[in-house]
Structure 1
Amino acid sequence: MARTPPALVGRTVRVLVCTEQKSFVTHDLPEVRLSFEGIEGDRHAGLTRLSDVRTPWFPRGTPIRNTRQLSLVSTEELAQVAHALELPRVLASWLGANLEVEGIPRLTQLPPGTRLFFPEDAVLAVEGENEPCTGPGKVIEGHHPGIPKLASRFVKAAWERRGLVAWVDRPGVIRAGDAVRVMLPKPVTYVLPGSPVNRKGQLS
């Protein structure tokens, strides 16, 4: 008899928003309301966005669907980044995060297509990993001006720990303290016709 996988449930530590266009640093709110465009009032909200270096298959500046409406980070991974940088802490707001969650092991490793369910209807669909860049590193550096090369060191320290980007699958409200239930996508193995496959259905 197949075993039912254990439920994966975490907790929303804080919810954050950025309303300024010249900064990505976020600030705490007790709750945020989500529409199909993202968090109402957040600088990353919108049904579409302009293509950039992350989407080189489009000419830069092409309007495309916005699958990066929200940024999520993990309390545990923030602590790992801080440890790697030899800092007492790294705040979610410094990374421009909209949600900080705890209790979900290896949050950044959740695969694309994962759904995150919140108590008041909101559902997020994971687009993928939010790869680190020097932007948040410069913010961290600004809080620790006496420590050299924090901006560049952040990229390595935050690799596979930077969190996720997601889009709104169902509108609703997310509050600090909410439970978040994780639904992983069904695993799929795609094999090109003619590829050598062993008896277990795996590529040789």
Structure 2
Amino acid sequence: MSEQAQCTIPGIAIVPAIKRRGRVAALGLAEGEAIKAERLSVLELTHEGIPGDRHAGFLRPADVRVPWFKRGEAIQNERQISIVSMEELAVIAANLGIERVEPEWLGANLTVEGLPDFSFIPRGTRLFFPSGAVLAVTDQNAPCRIAGAEVERNLPGSDGLALRFAAAAKRLRGVVAYVDRPGIIAAGEEFSVRVPEQWVWRG
């Protein structure tokens, strides 16, 4: 995302909208309370998310990520889909000194490749898939000890990894999104990325 910023308003730098392409490396469904996802070859998306996934639904309970709401209060669910990248999983593994981190260990629904610095894709970015399905990115996904514990559980002899995971995966844990348009996503297919105009408002 190296396009030169253009300034149209004094004091405000505006980066033009850009397009990119990526590929679906893996898909997953996270059922029940466990974070670990089951790998699938195809995912069906509805406006509520992925049927059967623990993050599906129009609403979700407020948690520590949104301290401006009362804990447990029903709020709009902008975290229906968890997305990570193969490139950043490799960096996390290197930071931890382990061979690999599999996306299903993190409960990822969609794993992409071919998009450097994927976790920094801004809010409002949309991913367009061949079936017509569209995902709208809402935020970075912060790493936590629960995900780290799942990685540790899948790597015998890696005691203490859960405590190191959050630091090793900071700003590398991918993003979350909601379903903007229903459809099908298939492993191996290419998709397009549309990043909106970007600017920093300092108030």
Aligned: 1:105 with 2:123: no
Aligned: 1:11 with 2:23: yes
C-alpha distance 6-167 of structure 1, shift in aligned 2 (>3 A): closer
- For 1:65 and 1:16, the matched residues in 2 are separated by 23
- Percent identity of paired positions between Structure 1 and Structure 2: 46
Aligned: 1:80 with 2:83: no
Detail structure 1 runs of 4+ shifted over 2 Å in the superposition. Answer: 2-7, 188-192
Counterpart in the other structure of 1:139: 150
Give the aligned length: 190
> Does the 8 Å CA contact 1:32/1:40 hold for their aligned counterparts?
no
TM-score (norm 1): 0.88
Structure 1 alignment gaps of length 5 or more? 193-204
- For 1:26 and 1:191, the matched residues in 2 are separated by 39
CA shift for structure 1 position 144: 2.4
| Aligned partner of residue 39 in structure 1, secondary structure | coil
| Aligned partner of residue 152 in structure 2, secondary structure | helix
CA shift for structure 1 position 37: 0.3
**Structure showing the higher strand proportion among its residues:** 2
Counterpart in the other structure of 1:55: 66
Counterpart in the other structure of 1:201: none
Equivalent residue letter for 1:36: H
> Does the 8 Å CA contact 1:37/1:45 hold for their aligned counterparts?
yes
Structure 2 alignment gaps of length 5 or more? 5-15
Among 13, 16, 29, the residue aligned to 2:40:
29
1:28-87 CA-partner distances (Å, limit 9, x unpaired): 111011110001111110000010111111111110010000000000100111111111
Q: Which has the higher contact order (CA 8 A, sep 6+)?
A: 2
Aligned: 1:127 with 2:142: no
- For 1:189 and 1:84, the matched residues in 2 are separated by 30
- For 1:182 and 1:84, the matched residues in 2 are separated by 28
Equivalent residue letter for 2:23: R
- For 1:36 and 1:100, the matched residues in 2 are separated by 20
- For 1:36 and 1:177, the matched residues in 2 are separated by 23
Structural RMSD (CA): 1.7
TM-score (norm 2): 0.89
Counterpart in the other structure of 2:8: none
- For 2:85 and 2:198, the matched residues in 1 are separated by 23
Equivalent residue letter for 2:29: V
Aligned: 1:164 with 2:146: no
Counterpart in the other structure of 1:38: 49
CA shift for structure 1 position 190: 3.1
Q: Which has the larger radius of gyration?
A: 1
